[in-house]
Amino acid sequence: MVTSAHEGMHRIFQERPEILGPVFEVLGVPLSAKATVDVVNPDVTETRPLERRVDTVLRVGPSDGEDFLLAIEAQSGKKQAKSVSWAYYVSYLQSKYGLPVLLVVVCQDMATAKWATGPFDCGTAGWTTQRTTPLVVGPHNLPVITDARTALKMPALAAFSALAHARVHESQSLAILEPIAKALQQLGETDPSSERYFDDFLQVTLGDTPAGKEWSRIMTFVSYFPGRGTVRETAYLEGKAEGEAKGQAKGILSVLDVRGIPVSDSVRERIATCTDLDRVDAWLKRSLTVERAEDLFADE
């Protein structure tokens, strides 16, 4: 499972290759619907003590064209040295596998995305020997998915979009989370492993951002499908009712105390331990008029 936002920005392509179709559509690159996708060893180290690794490398086999390699890099800031590394990755992978190479750079902020588009040239005196032009994915071109039906249809893209927008468009990122939560509730009925994956993906990659805190709040406390009896909903409703009942119980004892009505230990315990919110609410109303504490339970 991913361990950081950086990992998540490229690892999702390995673990959920169905995301390639909509991402390529955003980039304007045609890709057949029946393309095969295989993970390739990202190690591009030569026989020297200098280790180089591409974040993710995939071999894509379109049904209507030649295979190609997709090198995916997650980039969090402008680093000129990276542009040199990218040129190396592309040439090395092309030489090693004898296949054309596309470089996709995934960013979480506008400035980095603008810089990463390049082109990055190697040359001098007006001559260019090599030019690297990455395809860039980020908050500037990923759609903001605010419809639960769309999120259910493309959960990988919805989760990826939420992550891409988390640090730039906070309001847009937050707007994506509720539809994703609704979609995952439905997805869990048919594909619980995918529900867990995307829940974990967002919990880990969003981290302590405002979006991450909101996601934790949504998935821990909010039930979007009342009455369906899901485990999360049941736990939430039971915990909420118990907490409200305890608050009402304190209110009953306070009213009786203010009115100067004695309360025996048995009555106090009965009030304090009751978790039936309707019953406690009825006791609270009676506490305003009863002459004895025991009269709270007169009709029981």
Q: Whats the size of the chain, residue-wise?
A: 300
Does the residue 228 lie in any domain?
no
**Domain final position from 69, 104, 137:** 137
Measured in whole angstroms, how far is the alpha carbon of residue 233 from the centre of its chain?
Answer: 20
Residues 37, 80 within the same domain: yes
Does the residue 227 lie in any domain?
no
Which pLDDT score, from 0 to 100, does residue 238 have?
A: 60
Distance CA 173, CA 263 (A): 53
Neighbour-count burial for 219-239, b at 16+ CB within 10 Å, e otherwise: beeebbeeeeebebbeebeee
Residues 217, 253 within the same domain: no
Which pLDDT score, from 0 to 100, does residue 200 have?
A: 85
Which pLDDT score, from 0 to 100, does residue 225 have?
A: 44
Which pLDDT score, from 0 to 100, does residue 220 have?
A: 66
Tens-of-pLDDT digits for all 300 residues of the chain?
444 677 777 888 888 878 887 888 888 877 776 777 777 766 655 545 445 678 889 999 887 788 999 999 988 888 888 888 999 999 999 999 999 999 999 998 889 999 999 999 988 878 888 899 999 998 888 888 888 888 899 999 988 888 888 876 566 667 788 888 888 888 888 888 888 888 888 888 888 778 888 888 777 654 444 444 444 555 555 655 666 677 778 888 888 887 888 999 988 989 888 888 788 888 888 888 888 999 888 877
Residues 88, 182 within the same domain: no
Residues 63, 90 within the same domain: yes
Residues 57, 158 within the same domain: no
Residues 24, 65 within the same domain: yes
Residues 110, 38 within the same domain: yes
* Residues in CB range of 282: below 8 A, 6 or more apart: none
Does the residue 61 lie in any domain?
yes
Which pLDDT score, from 0 to 100, does residue 226 have?
A: 47
Distance CA 151, CA 131 (A): 37
Cα atoms in the Cβ-side hemisphere of radius 13 Å centred on 202: 34
Residues 119, 36 within the same domain: yes
Does the residue 93 lie in any domain?
yes
What tokens were used for 29?
């690159």
Distance CA 12, CA 4 (A): 12
Q: How many domains does the chain contain in total?
A: 3
Which pLDDT score, from 0 to 100, does residue 43 have?
A: 64
Residues 255, 167 within the same domain: no
Report the Cα–Cα distance between both ends of the chain, in Å, rounded: 54
Residues 249, 274 within the same domain: yes
Q: Which domain holds residue 167?
A: 148-222
* Residues in CB range of 68: below 8 A, 6 or more apart: 59, 60, 62, 99, 100, 101, 102
